[in-house]
Chains A and B, each alone.
Chain A
Amino acid sequence: MFQNRAEALALTLPAAIFAALVFLLPVAILLSEGFRSGGAWTLAAYTDFFSETLNRTVFFRTFRLGLEVTAVSAVIGYAAAFAIVNLPPKGKGRMIGLITLPLMISPVARTYAWIVILGRTGIVNEAITGLGLSPEPLRLLFTETAVFIGLLQLFLPLMILSLISALENMPKDAIPAARVLGANWFQVFWKVILPLTKEGLVVGGTLVFTGSLTAYITPAILGGSKVLMLETLLYQQVSVANNFISASVIAFILIVMSFAANILLKRLATARNGR
């Protein structure tokens, strides 16, 4: 397509310069703050951060919730994506439209809807008290459960879309062939579908996990400071304490976690194939 590599590089140069100036450079400056003290390179900011019980609690909570949301969205996502790819074209288009519809609505509006749904007078509590499962409405808002539900609803469409794309690229006769050879549905999924759709799972998993780590509005509204996450802690450090060193540490941790998740998912995917 291009005469030579120089031509291709020249075409990417404007975008690269723009990204370097408005994204990479500021991020590098911010992150370097966390490794410097009194003009010298040091890890003191990181040891200080992890020496506080609250920070450790928030770190593990964020990591755990990210994993839980990713795992559950993968399970639901595979089921939904498998059902959708087997629909006739018209039905498939409609379903994909329905899945993408929430992505066009602001996360703020979607999160506020959960306040209505999960509230003491919301439909969930009305159903619980109506069915006699509890005499009193349950406290669902401002809990880890609420944050989990909010994040799952926020990022599930990304997982489903990634898996739809992966399943559509899978050879159409792979599943019938496995069934003919005597594989049950679990074996079909584990030995055929999963290896053939690993790319979609890696992409979807990375999007959901990193999204769950970095989402601010949903944990802030549905969890508040009772369910502090790394991103709400970061906001607190910048906007209240004006502590950019701590903010830099949290930002770096979030970046490392995102990259680690991506690498880990890729490794798991290749390990599944025995390659």
Chain B
Amino acid sequence: MTTVVKAPGESAAERNGGSGRSGERGNGGSEGLVLHVFSHGFLAVWAVLIVLPLIWLALGSFKTDVQIGGSALSWPSNWHFDAFGRAWTKGIGSYFANTLIVMVFSVPLTMLFGSMAAYVLARYPFPGNRFIYYFFVSGAMFPVFLALVPLFFMVRRLDMLNTYQGLILVYVAYSMPFTVFFMHSFFRTLPTAVHEAAVIDGASDTRIFFQVMLPMARPGLISVGIFNILGQWNQYILPSVLMQPQTGGDPERFMLTQGLIQLQYQMGYETDLPVLFAGVTIAMIPMLVVYLSFQRQIQAGLTSATLK
């Protein structure tokens, strides 16, 4: 089993060679052919199972409510685009903005604090270094539900319930274990010679970190950054505890994930499902764009994070 993915041309050439010699190979060749058809079949079925519900949902945004309630397999009769506009004004627009506001601060802060801690722990031996490292990394093992009740009261005591800054700090804190773990292993791989050269040139430790090490760690930062973006964008449990309207007012600081669930209740009540489907489609698009632009880094980052 050569697991190397070959260029299409190359593999086609090799297949021709293989089938030409199938007589020699005896049943190996025919077994291969059957398996080939068989495996393509299964793979295609699963791909359809992934894509079909998503496309079906997106198509629903163009239907009318009656059509959605009718046959699931119907094609939109006229293409109504107005559900998107209604979804946006029904709250998706502001939920989207809320999520962006939080992430504009939380993702850079996560990356900054996570890299700072990881860098010091990876490259400066001092008493208690291992202890602090495990202190950070062990957080990944505990279920978040263990902390929820006291976390809620902690944030309330700091008067930061239902505020952006409260959620930002909590996101940063809960992203630490993964960020420190990943960046720690990354900083360890960077050559010491560059560091020494910078010291000889008279650069301070802080300056070396910001001007030498951090730029060198860019591939790692990108990988961890994408994972943090996905993780914080998709977070549901933390905001649903910390961003509830405390005075019974409007859910004006809901995150997008909360907002979608809110919209689901609302639209079930108002029977305007195209708006819900349009809202979900709007929420899906940025993730689809991020994923397709960075899928190489995501798959590579995932592999190096979990296989080592």
- Are A and B bound to each other? no
Residues of B within 8 A of A (CB): none
Residues of A within 8 A of B (CB): none
